[in-house]
Structure formats: structure tokens, C-alpha cells
Amino acid sequence: MPDQSPYIGYELTGPRSVMLLLEGRGVECTVFEDGAVDKLFSTRAEVLSPERDSVVLGKFAREGKELFFAEFALQIHDGIMSHISFLFDHMPLIEDLQACTDDMEGIVLKTLKKVHDEGGGLS
């Protein structure tokens, strides 16, 4: 992951969508249609497939501040999706979405290593 990432944070929520988690806490989300998502699928076709994955852009308010998100829902097995969401202080541009896509593998590996180390490995 680059030192100067365009996002201010990320969250792996597994099978749960961050939008559903926020709505469950009474936080309203607004979803946007943006051509950048289609461009992302064409420029990162080796990682993302519109037939199995999805990317949703949106925003919500938190502590009086407007935050934007890009939620990647990735099919990891037949019918099983895993979600990773990136938070922004601005509406993400195509370059921001490409950076997220490029960082995903490292984020997942880092998270798996942390879980592995905390759990003492496989038994």
C-alpha cells in the first residue's frame, strides 16, 4: 500500500455490507451511480469482474462530517461475497478506486496474518 493513500481508512466486513451495518445503527447512506465504476472494471479486469463482483459508491454523515465510501463486494466462492469498504473525505475518483483495488490484496493478506498470529495458526 502506498504511503499517500487517497482513502482515510478501510474496513473488512466479511459477508456483511457496510451499508447494512450503518443502517442497522440508524445511519442513513446515499448511494451514487458513477461511470468511474464501469471504468474501474475495465481497467482492473484482472482483479474485478462485473459478472461476480460489485462496487458501490456512497456517502453518510458521521459526527457532523460527510464521509464517502467505496464498497467492494467480491465473490470468493459460489454465492459467497466478502466486503471491503474504503472511506474518503471526498467523492472518490477513478484514480482513488484504482488505488483501492491495487491495495486490496495487501490489506487482506495483512488482516489474515494478524488473525493467524493472534490465533496461534491452524490447529
Q: Which pLDDT value is given to residue 123?
A: 46
Q: Which pLDDT value is given to residue 63?
A: 85
pTM for the predicted model, two decimal places: 0.87
Domain ranges of the chain: 18-118
Consecutive 10-residue averages of pLDDT for the chain (123 residues): 81 91 93 94 95 96 92 92 95 97 91 75 53
Q: Which pLDDT value is given to residue 56?
A: 96
What burial class does residue 85 get, using C-beta atoms within 10 Å of its C-beta: 0-12 exposed, 13-18 middle, 19+ buried?
A: buried
Residue 97 identity (one-letter amino acid): L
CA geometry: angle at 19 spanning 111 and 92, to 5°? 75
